[in-house]
Every structure is written in structure tokens, then in C-alpha cells.
């Protein structure tokens, strides 16, 4: 009888342990992996590396950043969408992976809303209208629009690839301003930037953080940011909307996602740890210095951001006629 009671008690303790683990009471008990759908050194990676020390401190565990580049971030997204919801695999996604890609790729093997647990945004990342003044010597956005309109089809703009955020941001600008320009897609940011520096293209809409060194060196001229408000690192740089194209805005965000069915307790703990990291003065200062705006959201707020962004980018993709499959 005693043996039966001890056996039953052991089973009870085992069940309690499993339930506690499912609810996340002992999470994290080992290193946490964040998958990156873009190469090392990319804008997404830079933000992750800035957050890493503070987030490791908040979690009390090591953070492993795993790179799985390909298909505009879809390779990493699919891995996380299919991962076990145990709190040890997350995705650093973007407005592109969860907004643009669903409209751009018609045969995704996952649903960007149903197959993920949105945790929080990390930062808003502005694009910037960057020009090579040796190719088009525009002083501001109005002057740029006037010069391009005066020479239909003459000027080309570069992007990080067909259907990417930099392409669609410029395509929307071209459409709204009524311009006739040639789109030249490249295989990533470095190639697009090199083409701009060399004068092979006149302009592009790269991430601001990628352009700051070239602007300081005088190799490019920055005419305006794509965000609704000016950025702290360059307060004298106007928004495109206020500098010549009212109503225009286009920027990306970076955020963290878990797989679907992630236990609410784990999702909330990860959200809280990221909030603490984003509020770290050193983290905030480094993000702002790159032209980014740190932004924390609750689980529900981020879920709404993803839904809203998906609808917005579907319209932009359709208008641009972009497709990759």
C-alpha cells in the first residue's frame, strides 16, 4: 500500500513539474535562441547585438543568435513557425517578414499571423532619401522631384532587391510624386550602396543607420527621412512629408516573435525582459545614435501592429506590381 501511495505521489510531482514547465514558471532554464533571417552585419543583426547583453542579463541566460538567411527572411520565419512552443526559439522579424512578404510571396508555407506569437516591437527603423550629388545635384526633396520630373526616364534608383522594403518605399514615393524612374534591384544593401556611391544609380531609400557613415564622409547627401517625425540623431534632417511630399511615410520596424501556442506565461516573461532591455539607457543611446527609435509594445499592441502592417503593405505591393514567384 505504501509503495502504491509513494508511486502515486511521484506521479503527482511529475505532473506538477510538467505543468509548471508548460506555464513557464522555470523558464528560461537554458540558453534562448533567436533566429535571424538576414546576414550577420545587417541592420537587423546590429539591433540584436545591441540588445543582447542587456537581454541576457534580464533573462539570466545566454542568448544565441542563429543566422538562417534566405528568401527575404522566410527561411528563418518558417523554422520558427514550425518550432516547438517551449520558449527556446524566437524570431527577430521585421515589417518585411510579417508585412511585405505575405503579399509578395504567393506560396508561403506558413501564416505570418496564425503561426506566430508576437512578443514586442524593438524599434522603428527609418529609411532615408539618399542621393549621389554628382549624379543629381538636388538640394532638397522639392528640388529632387523637380529635377527628376524634368527628365522622365533618365534617373534610376537602387534597392536591396525586388519587392524589398527599400524598393517598395521608393516605388510608393515615385507613384505619389508622379515620377518616371527606373528601378535597379541589387542583391542586398552593400551592393545597392556601392552602386549609389559609384554613381551607377542616382539615389535610393536605404536604412538611415546604414547611410550615416557615408553622409558624414560626404559621399552621399541625405534629403529626408521616411518616418512621420524627425529622428533624434539628425534633428535638422526633415521628413519627406514636410520637405516636399505631404502625407508620405514608409518605415520598417523590428520585433520578436515566438512560435504559435507559446505559453502565455513565457510570452509575458519574454515581453517583460525585452521591455527592461529597451529601457536600458545604454541600449537606448546606441539605438538612437543609429537613427532608430526604440519602441516597446505589449503583446496585444504588437499583434495589432502586425495585422495593420500586413494590410498596409498588401496595398503597396499591389500598387508597385512587385512579385518574386
pLDDT at 130: 98
b/e 267-293 (16+ beta carbons within 10 angstroms → b): bebbbebbebbbebeebbebbeebbbb
Which residues of the chain are under the pLDDT cut of 50?
Answer: 5-6, 8-9, 11-22
Q: Does the model's pTM come out above 0.75?
A: yes
Name the residue ranges covered by the structural domains of the chain: 26-124+252-320, 128-243
The CATH code of the domain at 26-124+252-320 is 3.40.190.150
Three-state SS at 185: strand
pLDDT at 16: 42
Phi/psi for 203 (5° steps) reads -165, 170
Same fold, 26-124+252-320 and 128-243: yes
Is-contact 252 73, C-beta < 8 A?
Answer: no
Options 3.40.50.10300, 3.30.70.3280, 1.20.1560.10, 3.40.190.10; CATH of 128-243: 3.40.190.10
pLDDT at 43: 84
Question: To the nearest whole number, what is the mean pLDDT of the chain?
Answer: 90
Residue 234, classified by CB atoms within 10 Å of its CB into exposed (0-12), middle (13-18) or buried (19+), is middle
Q: Could you tell me the end-to-end alpha-carbon distance of the chain, in angstroms, rounded to an integer? A: 67
Grid cell listed for 213: 557613415
What is the CA 22 to chain-centroid distance, rounded?
A: 30
Give the model confidence (pLDDT) of 14-43 as tens digits. 444 444 444 567 999 999 999 999 888 888
Amino acid at each position: 500500500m505504501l509503495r502504491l501511495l509513494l508511486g502515486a505521489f511521484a506521479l503527482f510531482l511529475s505532473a506538477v513539474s510538467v505543468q509548471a514547465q508548460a506555464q513557464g514558471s522555470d523558464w528560461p532554464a537554458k540558453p534562448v535562441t533567436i533566429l535571424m533571417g538576414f546576414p550577420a552585419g545587417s541592420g537587423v543583426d546590429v539591433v540584436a547585438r545591441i540588445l543582447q547583453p542587456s537581454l541576457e542579463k534580464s533573462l539570466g541566460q545566454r542568448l544565441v543568435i542563429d543566422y538562417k538567411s534566405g528568401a527575404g527572411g522566410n527561411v528563418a520565419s518558417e523554422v520558427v513557425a514550425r518550432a516547438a512552443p517551449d520558449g527556446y526559439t524566437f524570431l527577430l522579424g521585421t515589417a518585411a517578414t510579417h508585412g511585405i512578404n505575405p503579399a509578395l510571396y504567393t506560396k508561403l508555407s506558413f501564416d505570418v499571423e496564425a503561426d506566430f506569437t508576437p512578443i514586442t516591437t524593438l524599434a522603428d527603423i527609418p529609411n532615408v532619401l539618399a542621393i549621389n550629388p554628382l549624379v543629381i545635384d538636388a538640394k532638397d526633396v522639392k528640388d529632387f522631384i523637380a529635377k527628376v520630373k524634368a527628365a522622365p526616364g533618365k534617373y534610376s534608383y537602387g534597392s536591396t532587391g525586388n519587392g524589398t522594403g527599400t524598393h517598395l518605399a521608393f516605388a510608393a514615393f515615385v507613384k505619389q510624386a508622379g515620377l518616371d524612374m527606373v528601378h535597379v534591384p541589387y542583391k542586398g544593401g552593400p551592393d545597392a550602396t556601392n552602386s549609389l556611391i559609384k554613381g551607377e544609380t542616382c539615389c535610393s531609400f536605404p536604412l538611415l543607420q546604414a547611410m550615416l557613415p557615408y553622409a558624414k564622409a560626404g559621399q552621399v547627401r541625405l534629403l529626408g527621412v521616411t518616418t512621420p517625425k524627425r529622428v533624434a540623431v539628425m534633428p535638422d534632417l526633415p521628413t519627406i512629408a514636410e520637405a516636399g511630399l505631404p502625407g508620405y511615410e514608409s518605415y520598417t520596424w523590428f520585433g520578436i516573435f515566438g512560435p504559435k501556442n507559446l505559453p502565455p506565461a513565457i510570452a509575458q516573461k519574454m515581453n517583460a525582459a525585452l521591455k527592461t532591455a529597451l529601457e536600458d539607457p545604454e541600449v537606448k543611446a546606441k539605438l538612437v545614435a543609429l537613427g532608430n527609435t526604440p519602441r516597446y509594445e505589449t503583446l496585444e499592441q504588437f499583434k495589432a501592429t502586425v495585422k495593420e502592417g500586413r494590410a498596409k503593405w498588401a496595398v503597396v505591393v499591389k500598387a508597385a506590381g512587385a512579385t518574386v514567384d
